[in-house]
Structure 1
Amino acid sequence: MKELIKEYALGYTMLRDAIEGLTEEELHYNPAPDKWSIHQILIHVTDSEISSTSRLKKVLAEDEPTLISFDQDAWANTLGYDLLDREQYLLLFKLLRSSMQTILDNLTSEQNERVGVYPDQERFTFKQLLEFRVEHVRGHLAQIERVKKAYQENQRTK
């Protein structure tokens, strides 16, 4: 669990490192009509963090709470992700992650096994939900690398 918490705490730094030195053109490059730009990915990661931080806290504080997801595509398509301030969102991500640190540093083994339930009755422990948060950032870091590569390939073919 210590390694999981450590990687969770590094999420902001990993995102920052992934975009280091990128131009606005690279950050807003859209590799395909149905794909997100790096800018949009960063906004999404933060929106997801807002929702998931609440879920993590509910699982720790309430008895088998109902957990609700959000429609990521609806949010990306209707909330004007391209217009949102990426720096504000990255700061919000950083604050959300750091706000959980004291809680995570003081978890008991019993708390790791507390459960939240989705409307379809699927059950997840706190530890599993925290693993999903780490995997979510990992997955989007890989997506950012794919967009960077697509941008570079696009520049070579111009």
Structure 2
Amino acid sequence: MQTQTLIDEYGRGYELLRAAVDGLSEEELRFKPAPDEWSIHEILVHVTDSEVSSTSRMRKVLAEDEPMLASFDQEAWTARLRYDLTDREEQLELFRLLRSGMKTLMGHLTPEEWRRVGVYPDLARFTFEELLGYRVRHIRGHLAQIERVRDAYRQRES
């Protein structure tokens, strides 16, 4: 995918999430298809936590020379950070702001900066552009997950 296409889709992440949940009731947002699956509410909070972590990694790649990048245990975060009690609207606003700030920064990057590299503990190496592609795919995956949860709720109701 071309860099500008990635930037554009990345920049639409908030609007895509909003459109996916527009008009859903609180019951639909809190519905869990199975005890070990996430509700749409939890998905939205996770997406923001992931964005906080990923924004930090992306900025680190731009600012430091081949920095070490850390992942996070999403299941532990969901359970221990009380996603069920988290204000979804605050989280979505934080997501919007993080994406907006990063998109602005990306508009000023040089070709060399797009190729800067970060390294994970397993020694996997990713360029800034590859990290951006992952962020785009991450939202796509969660939009599909939201659709599956919404469909499961509606099938239960019929």
Same-fold status (TM-score > 0.5): yes
Secondary structure of residue in 2 paired with 1:30:
coil
In the aligned structure 2, how far is the partner of 1:81 from the partner of 1:102? 29
Q: Which runs of 5+ in 1 are unaligned?
A: none
Q: Which runs of 5+ in 2 are unaligned?
A: none
Q: Does 1:153 align with 2:147?
A: no
Q: Name the residue aligned to 1:119.
A: 121
Secondary structure of residue in 2 paired with 1:145:
helix
User: Residues 37-56 of structure 1: CA distance to partner in whole angstroms, max 9, x if unpaired?
Assistant: 00000000000000000000
Q: Name the residue aligned to 2:12.
A: 10
Q: Name the residue aligned to 2:48.
A: 46
In the aligned structure 2, how far is the partner of 1:71 from the partner of 1:54? 16
Secondary structure of residue in 2 paired with 1:15:
helix
After TM superposition, the score normalised by the length of structure 1 is 0.98
The count of residues paired between Structure 1 and Structure 2 equals 156
Q: Does 1:94 align with 2:84?
A: no
In the aligned structure 2, how far is the partner of 1:102 from the partner of 1:38? 28
Of all paired residues, the percent bearing the same amino acid is: 63
In the aligned structure 2, how far is the partner of 1:6 from the partner of 1:124? 20
Q: Residue 102 of structure 1: CA displacement?
A: 1.8
In the aligned structure 1, how far is the partner of 2:103 from the partner of 2:131? 15
In the aligned structure 1, how far is the partner of 2:23 from the partner of 2:15? 14
In the aligned structure 1, how far is the partner of 2:51 from the partner of 2:103? 14
Q: Name the residue aligned to 1:64.
A: 66
Runs of 4+ in 1 over 3 A off after TM superposition: none
In the aligned structure 1, how far is the partner of 2:107 from the partner of 2:77? 32
Q: Name the residue aligned to 1:37.
A: 39
User: Residues 100-149 of structure 1: CA distance to partner in whole angstroms, max 9, x if unpaired?
Assistant: 12211111111111100001111001000000000000000000000000
1:128 maps to amino acid = E
Q: Residue 5 of structure 1: CA displacement?
A: 0.2
Q: Name the residue aligned to 2:84.
A: 82
